[in-house]
Structure 1
Amino acid sequence: MSDLPAVIAALARELPEVHVRAWAQILRGHPAPHPAIRGLLTQARTGAVMGARAARLIAAWSAADPPPPGSALALALETASRMHGETHRRRTDIVVSGPHSDEVPVRLTSSVIIEVIRASRTSLLVVSFAAFGVAEVTRELVRAARRGVQIDLVLEGTVEDGGALRGASTPPFEVLRPLATFWVWADRPRTGGSVPALHAKVVAADEEVALLGSANLTDRALAHNLEVGVVLRDPDVVGRLVRHFHALMHPKNGPLRPTTARH
């Protein structure tokens, strides 16, 4: 590779931030490329492939027309490294339940839900069509509430309550009634005899990270069904999603209504 921007981008992905900082310090002390700089970069941070990476950078730097000063090269490398780190922190992961393949590293839906709940510090939004069982999830929600996290549970109601859920006998998350706010979709528009369903599945923590997927909060969905989902770590995207539900909870005109007061 002789394309300097491409080499910088590749090194930003390959090198830890501590390596980038060490290399940037050396590059700032050299106004132009020189073969001796390769040895200085290699010695700054040892590693099996550091020499090859240093050689790649020096070659691309020398081939640039005109070669930028070392200070500019250092700034470009640090900037690319920071952008890569930010992108990595906001990465999206795939989550699966049920059978899996070699194409997707398995991150079980149940373990990711627990991870998201444990990550919460101030707020949790939990949305599901069906919800029952899931004792481990319930325990984590209780722990979150007891450490001061505000929890909003948006759940589908039964047919008897005006919802679309059939066959549910035990109210979900009863132990959380004194600790969280439960919401239901009220005054739904109806077309003929059909009832629109609250079919979304979301677990979002602090407007920072969210799990979206096909799995309901049931033992079968989290352990046995073939389900897929994604983990979002982009605060801009997660924030818009959470604020959408908060808008639906508006006390004057929101279609979501609380079914129990939070203590």
Structure 2
Amino acid sequence: MNGRGGAGHAAVPPDHRSLAEVIAGLCSRLPEDRLASWVRVLAHSDGPDDPALEFFTASQTAPGLSGQLAEALRAWRRETPALPGAALALAVCAARAVPRPSPVQPVVSGPVGPSIPTRLTGGVALDIIRSARSSLLIASFAAHGATDAVNEVQEAMDRGVTVDLLLEESTQASSAFRALPQGVRIWHRQGTSSGVFHAKLIAADRHTALVGSANLTDRALTDNIELGVVLRGADAVGPLVDHFRWLIARGSNLMRRA
């Protein structure tokens, strides 16, 4: 038996990933400022047991990140304990410089386990709204509360972003946005079809989108057990935006302005 999927074969735990694999994952996940901070700490360390590295690792508050950094230290000790931090910092910079497809980023609401690095839905939703520079498209079955998200939509409009809100009429979701200026475009499903508008999407321009189960409500963004993913890049986000633009296009007769 080759050991792959055999009845008595134990799965290889994530902690046994190679140092190169862990570094690649961190380079894909960390934003530029956090990556630069990690590289600076690495560059001044003598090895994986440097207290400064332990402190930096323990100080990370993003769900799952401190565990991923700790995994990198363990892989470093296991594979090349004599490798100086400056050499590993150079390897991190080289890995970051290689273009690679943006990974799908998991997003959750509710309890966060240690199995995979995740971000919380509420914070991700705000970040995506803030990132919009020309257009913002939000779809939700229900909407209430979520004051921070509504405020971010207001700020997006203040900086000239065109905002389209595709909402289910039967849930009175549009009332959550009553404070927004008249420039916001609210859309409801046309006609008397038995179906409802059940999609959940936040798309900034054509570069970033959050797709998942969470409505734009306080509980869905924080307390409910919800699951979603963040997509990045025009190849992934563009077709989604095009689909919803088609839904609200005049010729489709599928949705109407509220």
Distance 1:219 1:244 in 2: 27
Deviation at 1:240, TM superposition (A): 0.5
Displacement over 6 Å in runs of 4+: none
**Residue 187 of structure 2 corresponds to which residue in structure 1?**
183
Structure 1 residues 107 and 49, CA gap change in structure 2 (3 angstroms): same
Distance 2:250 2:116 in 1: 42
Which amino acid in structure 2 is aligned with residue 151 of structure 1?
V
1:104 and 2:108 matched: no
Counterpart mapping for 1:56-205 below 5 A: 84-87=98-101, 90-158=102-170, 165=171, 168=172, 171-189=175-193, 195-205=194-204
Deviation at 1:176, TM superposition (A): 1.7
Say which SS state the counterpart of residue 85 (structure 1) adopts.
coil
Distance 2:106 2:128 in 1: 14
How far does the alpha carbon of each residue in 1:175-215 deviate from its partner, in whole angstroms, 9 at most, with x for none? 125131000111243xxxxx211111000001100000100
**Residue 244 of structure 2 corresponds to which residue in structure 1?**
245
Q: Is the CA contact 2:144–2:176 (under 8 Å) kept in the aligned structure 1?
A: yes
Q: Which consecutive residues of structure 1, in runs of 5 or more, have no partner in the other structure?
A: 1-8, 17-45, 55-77, 159-164, 190-194
Deviation at 1:106, TM superposition (A): 3.6
Say which SS state the counterpart of residue 188 (structure 2) adopts.
strand
Q: Is the CA contact 1:91–1:234 (under 8 Å) kept in the aligned structure 2?
A: no
Identity of aligned residues (%): 39
* Equivalences, count: 185
Q: Is the CA contact 2:141–2:173 (under 8 Å) kept in the aligned structure 1?
A: no
- State the TM-score, normalized to the length of structure 2: 0.63
Query: Which has the greater radius of gyration?
Result: 1
Q: Which consecutive residues of structure 2, in runs of 5 or more, have no partner in the other structure?
A: 1-19, 28-82
Q: Is the CA contact 1:215–1:228 (under 8 Å) kept in the aligned structure 2?
A: yes
Range moving further from structure 2, 240-249 or 101-110:
101-110
